[in-house]
Amino acid sequence: MNRARTVSPWLPTAPCTPGRCAPHPGPGSATVRPLLAVVRLVTGLGVVLTGLLLALLAVPLPAAARRSLVRHWCRAVIRAFGVRLRITGAAPAAPTGPLLVVANHISWLDIPLVAAVLPGRMLAKREVRAWPVLGALAALGGTLFIDRDRLRTLPELVRTMTQALAAGGRVIVFPEGSTWCGRAGGAFRPAAFQAALDASAAVQPVRLEYRPTGPAAFVGDDPLGASLWRIAAAGGLTAEIRILDPISIVQYPDRRSLARAAQYAVTGDSASKVRAIQAVQRAVASDSANRPSSSVHQWDNSSPAAVSSSRTPA
């Protein structure tokens, strides 16, 4: 049972809801036969489970071999659910230095989608660690966990991200801090960008798109099981990842200007629109804090249905 709780205005929220943004079937959406959907679902879950074994086997492997294994496994997850993968732009063949990968956030499917092209350490909420299978996979993959309810832990998290980047690694962040339906998006939270500045890391913006948008969107209080079924039953679902030009940090004096530049690269919004989105999101968050029951992103954090919070709220 979902439980309403008091929400800090610092936590990101989105106005998207399953009924409005992810109807099934949605406008222009096709569905496959139920038997094929069941086969996709069972196959997809089976591939996810094999990830545990692969993660254990990958521990002694060289870094390049582990990255290759992650890419292939993530692509297998995407294909198993019947989703076509389209990649545009040139991804780095191998890490050449610290890289903060930032992307818009629409679905739980974003995680294997990004890792299928640019594997790295993900940023996830603390509760993910306790989930069956998914928590173990996240921990074995070197996920960085954030306690979204304790703002005072944020500086330590930024330091950990900085260390990971300074060691030459990749860190993957969804800086909107919450899933949106894909027709609109939230402001990029700036805290993660401080790690890029401190580690002298380039920022790699990535744009994620799904066609049609509805089946993939995982928003509001959408149960994870419903989202899995909607994707498995979707016909002709395509996931596109666009690798955009990297952003050098040298021309940005602080994390806020760097976050705005990354958001502009990902969404194409003008600087003035980015600032307007930030103002609106702050107002929505403040209103949600005053009216907890109206927030579309609050539920029992012990439930896997909250998987959409595997993104940074910073």
Residue range 3-11: average pLDDT?
48
Distance, CA of 38 to chain centre: 25
Q: Is residue 35 part of a domain?
A: yes
Tell me the average pLDDT across 126-137: 75
Phi and psi, residue 204, nearest 5°: -105, 100
What is the C-alpha separation between 146 and 149, in angstroms, rounded? 9
Which domain, by its residues, includes 97?
18-309
Measured CA distances, 177 to 118, 225, 288, 303, 310 (Å): 20, 22, 15, 18, 8
Inside any domain, residue 9: no
Which of these, 210, 215, 209, 183, lies nearest to 32 by C-alpha position?
A: 215
Top-confidence residue, 205 or 223: 205
- Count Cβ atoms within 10 A of the Cβ of residue 290 and give its class: 0-12 exposed, 13-18 middle, 19 or more buried: exposed
Q: Quick one: how far is CA 88 from the chain centroid?
A: 19
Strands 234-235, 30-31: pairing kind:
antiparallel
Triad 155, 161, 163: Cα angle to 5°: 105
Residue 99, beta-bridge partner list: 170, 202
Q: How many domains does the chain have?
A: 1
Residue 28 · residue 238 · CB < 8 Å: no
Asked if the model's pLDDT at residue 184 lies above 80, the reply is no
CA gyration radius, the chain: 18
The answer to whether residue 193 is domain-embedded is yes
Residue among 195, 176, 184 at smallest CA distance from 285: 176
Edge to edge, the sheet with strand 170-173 lists 84-88, 238-243, 202-211, 99-103, 170-173, 121-125, 144-146
Q: How many Cα neighbours within 13 Å face the side chain of 78?
A: 29
Is 50 exceeded by the pLDDT of residue 177? yes
Q: Say which amino acid occupies 244.
A: L
Can the peptide bond before residue 190 be classed as cis, meaning omega within 30 degrees of 0? no
Lowest mean pLDDT among 120-129, 229-238, 278-287: 278-287
pLDDT for 128 = 73
Average pLDDT on 123-151 reads 78
Residue-wise pLDDT tens digits, 152-165: 888 898 999 999 99
Beta bridge mates, 144: 123
228 belongs to a structural domain: yes
pLDDT, tens digit (0-9, with 9 covering 90-100), for 264-308: 999 986 555 555 555 555 554 445 444 433 333 332 333 333 333
pLDDT band at 2 (very low <50, low <70, confident <90, very high): very low
Residue 7 domain flag: no
Asked whether residue 82 is assigned to any structural domain, the reply reads: yes
Q: In the structure, what pLDDT confidence band is assigned to residue 61 with cuts at 50, 70 and 90?
A: confident
Tokens describing residue 61: 């492997």
**What's the pLDDT band for 67 if we cut at 50, 70, 90?**
confident
6 lies in some domain = no
Q: Is the per-residue pLDDT at 36 higher than 80?
A: yes
What average pLDDT does the structure give for the chain?
79
Listed residue (232, 254, 176, 247) closest to 208, CA to CA: 176
End-to-end CA distance of the chain: 28
Q: Which residue has tokens 């036969």? A: 33
Query: Within a domain: residue 314?
Result: no
Percent of the chain scoring above 90 in pLDDT: 44
Q: Please state whether the peptide bond connecting residue 253 to the residue before it is cis, i.e. omega within 30 degrees of 0.
A: no
Most confident of 63-72, 75-84, 286-295: 75-84
